[in-house]
Amino acid sequence: MLRTKSLVVGSTGLIGSSIITQLLEKEESVIALVRTDEASTNSLLDFHKVNFDDLKFPNDFFSDVKDLFICLGTTIKKAGSEDAFQKVDVTYCKEIAQEAQQGGVTNLSIVTSVGSDSNSKNFYLKSKGLIERQILELDFESISIYRPGLLIGPRGEFRLGEFIGQKISPFLIDPLLRGSLRKYRSINRDKLAKAMINLSGEEGVNYYYFDDFIKNLETDN
């Protein structure tokens, strides 16, 4: 069966929402996983409500899904604890990926973070490294892991630290990040989303950083 649709997890977030917008602009069909009832007037967009604590999908749900984009994430402040944070950023992401892989989806793309390392002493980076490690245990034809620095774009919730970072990083900090430090540069959410769409399906396991995002966009133009 020809698989043509994209499935976006974390569809209301900074990256997921941009991926959906750009896919629809390309007139491609999208399924967006959501926690609450949503509706769309666009015939190409289908919202599918799920309970992440009890995932259940129709038998043919993944039958025509080719590309899975996992952009799900939270903050410790919003989650309330480290365990709750990992439940979203690790457990939910892994379980969705498992369901998709069992359903025959071939391409998986996931956003983690520059510095991701399951052995890191930093809890956030350790968690991102942990989900990467678990994703690699699954059998996809293509696994694309995106490790961006600070994400630039409008968020639905106010985060003081990120607000300040978004204002100063592109002009004051990024120019100082050269050589091996370039991968820590900030990236606009729309540019990252576009690169993710373009690069999905590259065979094998691929890790992408700042220069990969920019190079892809330059090639695309």
pLDDT 10s digits, 173-197: 888 899 999 999 999 999 999 999 9
Q: What is the pLDDT of residue 54?
A: 93
Rounded distance, CA 88 to CA 52, Å?
9
Q: What is the pLDDT of residue 97?
A: 97
Percentage of residues in the chain with pLDDT exceeding 90?
A: 77
The better pLDDT of the pair 160, 48 is held by 48
In which band, very low, low, confident or very high, does the pLDDT at 154 lie, cut at 50, 70 and 90?
confident
**Residues 69-106: pLDDT tens digits?**
999 998 888 899 999 999 999 999 999 999 999 999 99
Domain ranges of the chain: 5-220
Rounded distance, CA 45 to CA 41, Å?
8
Q: Quick count: other Cβ atoms within 10 Å of Cβ 191?
A: 18
Rounded distance, CA 211 to CA 221, Å?
15
pLDDT exceeds cutoff 80 at 163: no
Find where tokens 């100082």 sit.
176
Q: What is the pLDDT of residue 174?
A: 82
In this prediction the pTM is: 0.92
Burial of residue 77, with CB atoms counted within 10 A of its CB: 0-12 exposed, 13-18 middle, 19 or more buried: exposed
pLDDT exceeds cutoff 70 at 10: yes
Q: What is the CATH number that goes with domain 5-220?
A: 3.40.50.720
Q: What is the pLDDT of residue 166?
A: 61
